[in-house]
Amino acid sequence: MSCKTFLSFFVLLLMVSSPLKAQDITLPAPQKSGGMPLMEALSKRSSTREFDTKKQLDKQTLSNLLWAAWGFNRADKRTAPSAMNHQEIDLYVFLPEGVY
């Protein structure tokens, strides 16, 4: 079983077995200016394998991340490039109130 198939099956199982139903959430518009300079961001970049499951992102940060991953930065162009413009990407957001 491929990783993508397993993940899809897991998400489906989680959604079916969970008593909570995800409701639509309204996010603010992403902040497209400001922030940290690129070189400073690159110097602070790091990876982690542990996450605080009790800490939740605020809606503005979630909006910014989703726009960076799959938003439009021009009329018909995505912020994240894809090979040969196939646009094969699946984004999942796990929140206490549901999976999106």
Token pair belonging to 38: 């690129």
pLDDT of residue 6: 67
Q: Report the predicted TM-score, pTM, of the whole model to 2 decimal places.
A: 0.61
Interatomic CA distance for residues 70 and 81, integer angstroms: 9
Which tens digits make up the pLDDT trace of 31-82? 888 888 989 989 999 998 888 878 888 999 999 999 888 888 888 788 877 7
Cβ atoms 53, 44 nearer than 8 A: no
- The type of residue at 22 is A
